[in-house]
Structures are given as structure tokens and as C-alpha cells.
Amino acid sequence: MDKLIIEGGHQLSGSLKASGAKNSALPVLASSLLLEGKLTLSNIPHLKDVTTMIEVLGSMGANITLDEEMNLEIDTSNLTNQIARYELVKTMRASVLVLGPLLAKFGKAEVALPGGCAIGSRPVNLHLDCMKKLGAEVVTEGGYIKAKADKGLKGTEILFDTISVTGTENAIMAAVLAEGTTIIKNAAREPEVNDLINCLNEMGAQIDGEGSKEITIQGVKELKPTSYEIMPDRIETATYLTAVTMTGGDISIKNSMPKTLDSVLDKLKAAGAKIKIEKDSIHLKMDGSIKPVDISTAPYPLFPTDMQAQFISLNTVADGRSSVVETIFENRFMHVQELIRMGGNISLSGNTAIIKGKKGSLHSAPVMATDLRASASLVLAGLVARGETKIDRIYHIDRGYERIEEKLNSLGANIERVTG
């Protein structure tokens, strides 16, 4: 099993290009099930989760070609089955994103129920409710969601009582080929949902309300082949900006989408970073001590849960007390115990972490990654810890960060990946 060994204490400086967004690439790949012919995608990030989604589609008989630059062509015209198998779904919950498009296009789908998850119970009830509202019969048996819509799906009104990102995406993909109009209320407004909508509209879908809480979809008979470029990954960008805020130094991130990062950039400024935006580049400069920042996670456009762990790391080396409240996932604090082992002064009470930060408080320790963003927080902690931090189970980080050690080393970090 791969490990990362990080020598702490190096300032970071230089420039990076943001990779394509994982959480946009996954639904966009699933949307290829909706059209007759090829979907051509560029800026696909080279990540384990993306490979898993490609395998899910490949196991149904999709024809996929990928060149060295990760330009991908996918053709789902000759599927042999509509089953997302447990062996793949258990490694990535987002596999459930094939449910909506399979039902819309083929009138049937079998998708393994995703099991438990390190960051919370994460049920899929909202996804199933949407499919039922659109007229599908849905049962769960033998560990599988079995859904069918013999007469096709019918437009309807869907109200989410909890905002769900992939739930909204599944509902949109199911509704694009449904008969009539679907209105989704209390929809997720994450930029990745907009990216999916833009791609579907390029294919000929009729979706309005992008970026708002109410999305209207006028069903169409079919979608046409298209080419689409995946948006940049805002969480990857935010993670590197946070790293440099912690180590000191300066960084430019090109090909980013600054306007999707307002809530995070505000908090980094509050921590003392100087930030300049130029078109699609973000420049950050940090010197001096880090001010502690209070965070409460919430759906977009508020502070993303996917940056909560990284900000706990930042607060451990800030100058004073802060609180971090997690409102989206009940168990997303697995990194806290590991950060405490590195010297972080953190106490947990329910969904709130109280951090008593101090410059230089982190030291090396062998630690274990438990999920994707938890791993990122340990890498950031390792960059500023005294001595050599060894992070085990690093496969979690390869699910969502492309060549993380290469990118950080290009800025002056000293990180080595060891196998075994």
C-alpha cells in the first residue's frame, strides 16, 4: 500500500494549473448514457474515481477510448446491460449517478446499494424518491436498487427536503428525456451541477434555472453527440491555496474558476492571506502569522464541507482559538484524531470542533488517511509539521487529487511516495 512521506517546514512558491473537476466529471460521464452516439470530453482529471466511473460504464458495454491527454470518447449506443455491480459501486458511491440516465434512456436499471461510508451514513433515499416521482417502480432487493419505467418517465414536480448534489444531478438526468416538464425545487446550486446542465444543454436538453434553487426541465425525445470541456476543480484549487496559507510563500493557480470560490477565498483572506484575481488565475501571498477562522459548512454558495478538514489543519497552526462546525455529514471528523496525534489541540463536541491553534504546534507522527479530504488535511499538516510525517492508506487521496506530490513538490515541498 502506498504511503506519503512528507518532510515539513518548506515554504511553497510557484504556479500550478488546476485539474478538471472530479465532481463534475463523474455526473458528466454518467450523462453519456443518455445520448445516441459519442460524447467527447476534455479536461478529464486522471483520478481513481474517474477510472471507477469509466469501469462502471465499460462493464455495461460502453465503448470508451482515452488518449494520453485524458481526452475521452464514450459511446453508449450498444450497451449490453444496465447493471452497476456491487464490486464497483462499493468503491465509489457516486456510481449511483447512473441510475437516472439508465432509467430515462432504457426504462430499467439495477444499481448496487452503496454501503456505509467513512464520512457518514449517506443514504440514497432522495435519489430513489425522485425516480418514483418521475413514475419509476423502484424496489431494493438483494443489495440492489431495481428500477423500471416500462412506459417511460413522466415530468413532475420534485421538492428536495434536504439539498443533495448528486440527488439533484440524478433527477436532472432522469428528467431530460421524460415526457413533459419537470420542476426541481430546493435544487443543489453547486457549480458542478451547473457544469452538468451546460453539458446536457449542449447535447440538446432544455434545462433552465442553472445556478438557482429551482430548475425546470422540458423533456426532449433524444440528445445528440457533443464535445464538452470539464470545469476546473475548485476543491483542488482551494486545497493548494490553503497549503500555501499554512506554509507561507506565494502561489498562482491558473485555469481556475475564481468566482466559484468566494466563500473559501474570504476565509483565507480572514486568515491573513493576500489574494488577487486575474481572469481565471488566483494569486495568493502569505507571510506573517495565521489568524484563526471560524467555519460552518453548508451547501453552495456557502463554505464547502469538502474544505472543512483542510481548514481544521490550518486552524491548528493559527494564532488562537477557532470553531469549525460540520452541518452536512455527521461523521466527517475522522482526521481530527490523526491531527491530535500530530500535536493539534482539538476537542470535538457533537458537530463542532474547537481548535486552540498555535504556530509550530504540529510535529511528525505516523498517521492514517480515512477519506479523501481527511487525507488532504493530513498532507497539509505534514507540510508544516516538524520532522517527517508518514501518511498511510494514501489511496484515498488518489481518488480526488491528481499527482498531489508532484504538484506540491513543484512548489518546493519535499514529499516522497513509497510503495509497500
Size of the site for ligand EPU (CB under 6 A): 23
The answer to the question of residue 124 lying near ligand EPU (CB under 6 A) is yes
- Cβ proximity to ligand EPU, 368 vs 372, nearer residue: 372
Task: Specify whether the CB–CB gap between 379 and 397 falls below 8 A.
Answer: yes
The pairing of strands 144-148 and 157-159 is unpaired
Q: Is the peptide bond before 301 cis (omega within 30 degrees of 0)?
A: yes
The answer to the question of residue 329 lying near ligand EPU (CB under 6 A) is yes
Q: How far is CA 340 from CA 300, 344, 348, in A?
A: 29, 4, 11
b vs e for 127-158, b when ≥16 Cβ sit within 10 Å of the residue's Cβ? bbbbbebbbbebeeeeebbebbbeebbbbbeb
d(Cα 233, Cα 401) in Å, to the nearest integer? 9
- Cβ proximity to ligand EPU, 27 vs 219, nearer residue: 27
Binding residue for ligand EPU, selected from 95, 378, 400, 405, defined by CB under 6 A: 400
Task: Specify whether the CB–CB gap between 273 and 286 falls below 8 A.
Answer: yes
- Cβ proximity to ligand EPU, 8 vs 400, nearer residue: 400
Q: Environment class of residue 278 by beta-carbon count within 10 Å: exposed (0-12), middle (13-18) or buried (19+)?
A: exposed
Q: Report which of 352, 321, 326, 341 is spatially closest to residue 391, judged by C-alpha positions.
A: 341
Binding residue for ligand EPU, selected from 72, 149, 282, 372, defined by CB under 6 A: 372
Piece of 79-87, 123-131, 143-151, 251-259 that binds ligand EPU (CB under 6 A): 123-131
* Nearest distance in Å: CB 368, ligand EPU: 17
For 285, residues 6+ apart whose C-beta sits below 8 A from its C-beta are 249, 250, 273, 274, 275
The answer to the question of residue 131 lying near ligand EPU (CB under 6 A) is no
* Nearest distance in Å: CB 227, ligand EPU: 22
Give the x/- contact pattern for ligand EPU in 14-43, rule: CB under 6 A: ---------x--x-----------------
* Nearest distance in Å: CB 127, ligand EPU: 5
Binding residue for ligand EPU, selected from 77, 125, 140, 410, defined by CB under 6 A: 125
* Nearest distance in Å: CB 343, ligand EPU: 25
Q: Environment class of residue 187 by beta-carbon count within 10 Å: exposed (0-12), middle (13-18) or buried (19+)?
A: buried
In the window 148-207, what residues touch ligand EPU (CB under 6 A)? 162, 164-167, 192
Piece of 65-73, 115-123, 195-203, 248-256 that binds ligand EPU (CB under 6 A): 115-123
The answer to the question of residue 120 lying near ligand EPU (CB under 6 A) is yes
Q: How far is CA 99 from CA 68, 106, 293, 324, 326, in A?
A: 30, 11, 40, 34, 28
Task: Specify whether the CB–CB gap between 145 and 128 falls below 8 A.
Answer: yes
Q: Report which of 322, 416, 418, 339 is spatially closest to residue 376, judged by C-alpha positions.
A: 339
Binding residue for ligand EPU, selected from 116, 123, 180, 360, defined by CB under 6 A: 123
The answer to the question of residue 373 lying near ligand EPU (CB under 6 A) is yes
Piece of 120-128, 136-144, 250-258, 384-392 that binds ligand EPU (CB under 6 A): 120-128
What's the residue count for the chain?
420
Sign of CA dihedral 262, 266, 268, 273: positive
The answer to the question of residue 126 lying near ligand EPU (CB under 6 A) is yes
Give the x/- contact pattern for ligand EPU in 289-328, rule: CB under 6 A: ----------------xx---------------------x
* Nearest distance in Å: CB 158, ligand EPU: 12
Q: Report which of 51, 129, 33 is spatially closest to residue 92, judged by C-alpha positions.
A: 51
130 is a catalytic site residue: no
Q: How far is CA 181 from CA 149, 197, 373, in A?
A: 17, 16, 38
Q: Which of 61, 69, 116, 117 is catalytic?
A: 117
Q: Which residue numbers are catalytic?
A: 117
Chain contacts with ligand EPU (rule: CB under 6 A): 23, 26, 94, 120, 122-127, 162, 164-167, 192, 305-306, 328-329, 372-373, 400
